[in-house]
Amino acid sequence: MQPDDQQQAAQPEQVKPKAKTRRQRKGRSPFGSIKVDGPRFAATWWEGPVQRKRRGFESRGAAELFLAQVRIDLQTGERQIGDPVVVDGVTVEHAIQAYGRYLDEKGLKPGPNAERLRRLRAFFSDTTVMVSALTPAVCAAYYAALRMRTTKTGKPYSVDSQRNTLAEAKMLAKWCVSKRWLRTSPLDGIEGMGKRRHGKAQLRIDEARRWMAEATKLADVGDQGAVAAMMPLLLGMRASEIVTRVVRDLDDDGRLLWIPDAKTEAGKRTLRIPEVLQPYLERLATHRKPEDLIFGQHWRDWIRKSVKRVCELAGVPVVCAHSMRGLHSTLAMDAGVTGHVVAASLGHESVTTTKQSYAKPEAVAGGQQRRTLAVLAGGLA
């Protein structure tokens, strides 16, 4: 081999640079571009290597805003390749779906998240309209229509339901502002109408005693519903918390009940089970695996029906399970237990919620009076 041949063989093979794509040759960005198309502006973008999309807009600003939002949605995963693209902005349905994904990422549980989205679709009855078309007048009309709506049973929506739905719509609008889909919230000036109801009707003490006697009699013969119905009254538990408890949540030989998951951080708590309830729960947990549900598979409505059934058998006014939870706080505060302790047992983040919607005002005042008298008599505050 000649020296020139050896030198040529030692040189590494030259790699040819890749040819520029058509978009690169024309100076277009890797994502998309905007050009004048007669009296309109055409936004062209790419989703993946081959999916080319094109939409027209009345102004360059609208096209740029839309193109920027599509790019953000693709990067953050709020939009998947191949999803339909809204024209001239974002529809209310698109906003609701994106908001739902945002809440899911924040850790909101599927049940409350689905309920929140249901309320939003109830408020915005036409979700095909553009978010940009939501003016204060349009939103006021939506709220007026909501106040005229009735439930499946023909009853009008309660004031609480109307105002809660309005509050959800306001939260969505503010989120849309943060996404730059709206400049300002069109719902800021809309005030909720009607007076909210705080708390449910509660049994009197004598009625509660009769109710408890009937529930105990049923529990003695193996009535699981009666045992479950006692838990809102004796432990202040929510219906959803009762039906989702598993065997391993019973701890310390049946004296403690763990609630590790709740809709709020304050709801995560450990409750001391009263002696009257311990044998019933222990009997239900016998021969079941640690992850088995204590009461088996039930929806939370089962608790309401069980409380109602005991009310009818005991001959007392029919109340709901939430009412028994409120009676728990009323009796506790009336006995002098501090509001913060009762709020903690109910899983409330604020004692204000407990006092406004659960405990009766006279119970709060009576408990404060007894603590004051105890301190004046030489006891501890």
Instruction: Give the confidence band of 185 by pLDDT, cuts at 50, 70, 90.
Output: very high
CA pair distance 381, 379, nearest whole angstrom: 7
209 and 329: one domain?
yes
Per cent of the chain over pLDDT 70 is: 67
Work out the number of other CB atoms within 10 angstroms of the CB of residue 298: 18
Instruction: Give the confidence band of 354 by pLDDT, cuts at 50, 70, 90.
Output: very low
59 and 99: one domain?
no
217 and 300: one domain?
yes
Domain boundary among 161, 178, 195: 178
Are the C-beta atoms of residues 142 and 124 closer than 8 Å to each other?
A: yes
User: Which residue, 240, 221, 199, is CA-closest to 324?
Assistant: 199
**Which of 106-120, 296-310, 336-350 has maximum average pLDDT?**
296-310
Residue 129 confidence (pLDDT):
85
163 and 308: one domain?
no
Helix (H) or strand (E) holding 148: helix 136-148
* Residue 83 maps to a domain: no
Residue 110 burial (CB < 10 Å; 0-12/13-18/19+)?
exposed
What are the Cα distances from residue 256, in Å, to 236, 277, 297, 342? 14, 11, 22, 17
Residue 36 burial (CB < 10 Å; 0-12/13-18/19+)?
exposed
Residue 28 confidence (pLDDT):
44
127 and 29: one domain?
no
pLDDT tens, 123-171?
Answer: 998 888 888 888 999 999 999 888 888 777 777 778 888 888 999 999 9
210 and 287: one domain?
yes
Across the range 203-212, mean pLDDT stands at 85
Domain count, the chain: 3
* Residue 141 maps to a domain: yes
**Which of 191-195, 261-265, 336-340 has maximum average pLDDT?**
191-195
- Pick the residue with more confidence: 41 or 364? 41
Residue 357 confidence (pLDDT):
40
CA pair distance 123, 138, nearest whole angstrom: 11
Residue 98 burial (CB < 10 Å; 0-12/13-18/19+)?
buried
Domain that holds residue 36: 24-76
Tell me: pLDDT of 248 over 80. yes
Residue 274 is which amino acid? Answer: P
**Which of 1-5, 56-60, 157-161, 300-304 has maximum average pLDDT?**
300-304
CA pair distance 175, 100, nearest whole angstrom: 11
Phi and psi at residue 37, to the nearest 5°: -130, 80
CA pair distance 103, 97, nearest whole angstrom: 10
Residue 125 confidence (pLDDT):
87
pLDDT tens, 81-123?
Answer: 545 444 445 789 989 998 998 888 887 777 778 889 999 999 9
Tell me: pLDDT of 208 over 60. yes
Per cent of the chain over pLDDT 90 is: 25
* Residue 2 maps to a domain: no
Are the C-beta atoms of residues 355 and 233 closer than 8 Å to each other?
A: no
pLDDT tens, 262-271?
Answer: 666 656 788 8
Q: Is 9 helix (H, G, I), strand (E, B) or coil?
A: helix
161 and 248: one domain?
no
CA pair distance 236, 343, nearest whole angstrom: 10
CA pair distance 46, 29, nearest whole angstrom: 10
| Helix axis angle, 224-235 to 278-285, nearest 10° | 130
Q: Indicate the range of 43-52, 234-243, 317-326, 367-376 predicted with least confidence.
A: 367-376
Residue 343 confidence (pLDDT):
36
| CATH number of domain containing 266 | 1.10.443.10
Average pLDDT of the chain? 75
**Which of 245-259, 333-347, 349-363 has maximum average pLDDT?**
245-259
215 and 349: one domain?
yes
pLDDT tens, 27-69?
Answer: 444 467 777 777 778 878 776 665 567 777 777 777 776 776 6
